[in-house]
A and B are shown apart, each in its own frame.
Chain A
């Protein structure tokens, strides 16, 4: 009898169905795995043979051939252990073919027959559903993650023997209970109420969070750039279930899902500045998502931005524009989503005190120019808010007359309202925030009243704006108007938006 079990592999962050066929015929005893397996898959022979014996299901001395189809797709990893073992049981006529109908099996075996957790169960479960499977057998530790896919029966398997008994009907089949997902914001360690002074940066952070705008914080060391950036996750809009699923898929495929189930908050990624291009964008001979994909729907924070290698920074340009990145390798070409909000921090010069009143800048003009030239024009062109962060004075810490700064909760409420307005506007499209509007969207949604048009015209001429700068001002003004719950962009919204570009002059 020919055994046939369905399983699933990963390309990028998408599951791909793999059919496993096993045959046990008479002849010299042997065991062959064909169908482009990698080393880990070939080695599965020993794990499977011993796991089966330890479960009392010894392989008979026959000529065994295992085929993994489609044969042109490279199978990597250990996810095929369980389906191969089940296919072998079918081939040796100890498991009826009907037991595995409409069912997909995934899992790594240990020598005693226990099942081990694997990476990427979520995209695999989604692929199973899309391809019409009704059941999914997976390791018990993966079951709760898989259970978030609607309409799938998840069978958590702890041990090959118990699973075998269940499939034969000797034990009752157990199904994983569907876990409910509730958005829960974790305690943020960095609350906005702890940030003193920095009035401009606070307002800018709120706008950036509401509209998903890219932001550059520029200021001397110790002024609080990093503190503001770290407080940002606390005011990001709430995560929806669809977004959580999207993020979890990436983390699951990358083997970086730390919670049992779906991620519960927007990612905040802060790669160190020695990160290589492939660490940032993704890569490897079998493409893995990089930091920008791990920051999908969240924040990518680049501290000390000019210290990053130029090639790494330039590689951000295309994903910022497109919201995804394509990694092409000889064997494959994968597309990873990467719709992140870029938050960058930098000093105004190598010593950090250019333009400061408190300390003297010791850099030469040439050093300053070289430092700033690390950030190319096209990259700066993609940043919406340029914020100068100021050093604090003693009085800022212990000001008597000012009220306690607003906490993250209050700010977040406003951000959520503003984001809701945007989601309503963009419902039915594939964008979710003002920062992602295309030129066409801008013409459609950024309607200005007469005074605003007049102001924009004079500012455009006076500040010698580029076409892209013009579009960015409009996106920003749209967000400011949304925070005001206004349908039309007014003069005041535009006037405020223009100020967030003023620090840009430092680069020209």
Chain B
């Protein structure tokens, strides 16, 4: 296929999608044209009989936008938002995306297009709500894998998703990340992630199957989740409630035959309900980052061994501790404690305990958990 030919096809697809026809009506037209967009455009221009199959309002909408300038306009909108497009028949369309059902005709892109052909992708999906355990483990595992050259794929949602993206960006340029969105790429959803979005555009890739201006609705999120699965070689679920959108990603992953990994959690913790259930059903258990490497044969164990020691940098603890501080550290050894619980355990007077806590924080020995009132080592 010539370059020019492809350009024309892209332009027509962009125009066709910008009409935002109902999915069923769109399918109807494509079937008549044997899925060829150029044929379809000619048929529409010739007012072929296929157009009479459509709903009256849809028909009018198409007929009003058949002009060449409409096509140019649709493509200009794309350029204005710096959105790129990849068609299914193009060489760099991700291989596994062709297998998902229904396969997208085209993908809208922002950022580094080269990442489309990257094979070593790990999907990390989870709930918006997480606790310190989920956050820390996601960060730790994602950091090691991203440094080893695995691209982190997720959905730019709050919670686990954002944590996974952020961790991968931390080790850029080694770290690669792809975000797959449900809505059009002209808007950032959730709006709180404006900065994260911009950073991924710069250092990673953002994908959507929907045209700019498309508003994500409740059903578009499960649809998006199937693309996350399709884009990944393996899927990792650190934390998610039993009933959550993550289930759709897992269903899609099972259909595609993708390996599923899960982080074990406390059985009474609702945020670990889904990963624990997955483990029971035969998902692979992740105790350390290496476990996930099973699915990524290209990344040799040796490469990984070098980076497996990487942890979040922490200053070497100051060894000189007062008697009270030692007491507190000893009490925290077993589990995270709140201030009142520490009082019960250490029998220190309140002012002294508080003072020691501040001192220990200064020495980087302990920290306060973000999602509870407890302190941990």
Chain A residues packing against B (C-beta within 8 Å): 197-200, 202-203, 354-355, 360, 364-366, 368, 388, 390, 396, 399, 402, 455, 458-459, 462, 480, 492, 495-496, 498-500, 502-503, 505-506
The CA-CA distance from A396 to B340 in the complex, in Å, is: 10
CB of A496 within 8 A of CB of B354, answer yes
Closest to A388 in B: B373
Which residue on B lies nearest to A490, using beta carbons? B355
B207 to chain A, nearest CB (A): 24
Most buried by B among A399, A500, A506: A506
Contact flag A200-B350 (CB < 8 Å), given A364-B129, A455-B362, A458-B362: yes
**Cα distance A203–B358 when bound, in Å?**
16
The 8 A-B pairs of least Cβ separation, nearest first, read A388-B373, A495-B358, A355-B372, A499-B354, A495-B355, A365-B128, A203-B350, A496-B354
In the bound assembly, the distance between CA atoms of A480 and B354 in angstroms comes to 12
Tell me if B371 and A355 are in contact (CB < 8 A).
yes
Cα A388 to Cα B357 in complex, Å, equals 16
10 interchain pairs, CB-CB under 8 A? A197-B340, A198-B340, A199-B339, A199-B340, A200-B339, A200-B340, A203-B354, A365-B128, A498-B358, A506-B373
B159 beta carbon closer than 8 Å to chain A: yes
Q: Hey, what's the 0/1 contact readout for B118-137 against A, CB within 8 Å counting as 1? A: 00000000001100000000
Cα-based distance from A189 to B191 in the complex (angstroms): 50
Contact with A along B343-377 (1 / 0, CB 8 A): 11000001100110111001000001011110000
| A495 close to B354 (CB less than 8 A) | yes
Residues in chain B near residue A503, CB distance under 8 A = 373
Q: In the assembled complex, which residues on chain B have CB atoms less than 8 Å from the CB atom of A495?
A: 354-355, 358-359
Complex interface bits, B315-357 against A, C-beta within 8 A gives 1, otherwise 0: 0000000000000000000000011110110000011001101
Asked if B350 and A492 make an inter-chain contact with CB atoms under 8 angstroms apart, the answer reads no
Q: How large is the interface on B (under 10, 10 to 19, 20 to 34, 35 or more residues)?
A: 20 to 34
Expressed in whole angstroms, the minimum distance between the Cβ of A377 and any Cβ of chain B is: 15
CA distance A211 to B242 in the complex (A): 48
Q: Is the interface of B mostly helix, strand, loop or mixed?
A: helix
**A496 touching B340, Cβ below 8 Å:** no
Docked-complex contact A390 and B354, CB < 8 angstroms? no
Question: Which chain B positions have C-beta within 8 A of A203?
Answer: 350-351, 354
By a CB distance below 8 angstroms, the chain B residues around A364 are: 128-129
Asked if B88 CB lies within 8 Å of chain A CBs, one says: no
- Whether B373 contacts A355 by the Cβ 8 Å rule is yes
Alpha-carbon distance A495/B360, docked complex (angstroms): 10
User: Given the complex, which residues of B lie within 8 Å of A462, measured CB to CB?
Assistant: 362
- Nearest CB in chain A to that of B343: its residue: A199
Q: Closest A-chain residue to B128, C-beta based? A: A365
Contact A496 B355, beta carbon cutoff 8 Å: yes
Contact B355 A492 (CB under 8 A): yes
Given pairs A495-B355, A496-B358, A499-B357, 7 additional interface contacts (CB within 8 A):
A197-B340, A364-B129, A402-B344, A459-B362, A492-B351, A500-B354, A503-B373
Name the distance in Å between A106's Cβ and chain B's nearest Cβ. Answer: 53
Taking the complex as formed, is B213 at the interface, i.e. its CB lies under 8 A from any CB of chain A?
Answer: no
Given the complex, which residues of B lie within 8 Å of A390, measured CB to CB?
A: 338, 340-341, 373
Please report the C-alpha to C-alpha distance between residue A360 and residue B344 in the assembled complex, in whole angstroms. 24
Task: Kindly state the separation between the CA atoms of A495 and B372 in the bound complex, as whole angstroms.
Answer: 21
A198-B340, A199-B350, A505-B368 known; A499-B358 Cβ under 8 A: yes
Residues from chain A with Cβ under 8 Å of B354 in the complex: 203, 495-496, 499-500
Q: Which residue of B lies closest to A395 (CB)?
A: B344
CB neighbours (8 Å) of B270 from chain A are: 360
Complex formed: what's the CA distance from A200 to B338 in Å? Answer: 10
Chain A contacts of B371 at CB under 8 A? Answer: 354-355
Residue B158 interfacial (CB < 8 Å): yes
- Chain B residues closer than 8 Å to A500, beta-carbon distance: 354
Which residues of the other chain, B, contact A388 by a CB distance below 8 angstroms?
A: 338-339, 373
Question: Which among A200, A355, A365, A506 is the interface contact of B158 at CB below 8 angstroms?
Answer: A365
Interface string of B158-179 (1 = CB under 8 A from A): 1100000000000000000000
CB proximity of A355 to chain B, nearest CB, Å:
4
